[in-house]
Amino acid sequence: MSKFRMTINYALAYTDASFWEKLKRWASTLGKELTEKTLWFYYTAQDPNVPAKAKAIIYGALGYLIMPIDLIPDTLPALGYSDDMSVLLAALAQVALYITPETQEKARQRLHCWFGEENRA
């Protein structure tokens, strides 16, 4: 299966409801770094100025994150989200140009609500 077709399949699996359900349930397990990158993608995809191709990459990566079946099962301690992180980092390399300081700030604010500490660099 081609990389593009896989991205589309995961993008089609993405929904806002399943994203927030998974992220709220697993944020502490995912850790702040993965949760922050995930929120960057979510808020970037909401920006009407982001091109459709970049949004497809974002939704593909987020779809991979929320799918219960992936390369390494999420239930495995210490390893479960390593493949998800790899997918997010690969997508980040392709869409970093569209992640604005405003979207990063929205992510920081959400992290502050969930983790209860300051997340500024």
DSSP letters along 49-96, please?
TS-HHHHHHHHHHHHHHH-S--SS-TTSTTTTTHHHHHHHHHHHHHHG
**Cα–Cα distance between 38 and 75 in angstroms, integer?**
19
- Cβ–Cβ under 8 Å, residues 67 and 13: yes
Indicate whether this model's pTM tops 0.75. no
- Cβ–Cβ under 8 Å, residues 40 and 88: no
- Cβ–Cβ under 8 Å, residues 57 and 98: no
User: What is the residue-averaged pLDDT of the chain?
Assistant: 77
| The predicted structure's pLDDT at residue 23 | 74
Asked if residue 10 has pLDDT above 70, the reply is no
Domain ranges of the chain: 3-115
Residue 108 neighbours by CB under 8 Å, 6+ apart? 36, 119, 120
- Cβ–Cβ under 8 Å, residues 66 and 18: yes
**Cα–Cα distance between 120 and 72 in angstroms, integer?**
31
Tens digits of residue pLDDT in 20-52 = 777 776 677 777 888 888 899 999 999 999 999
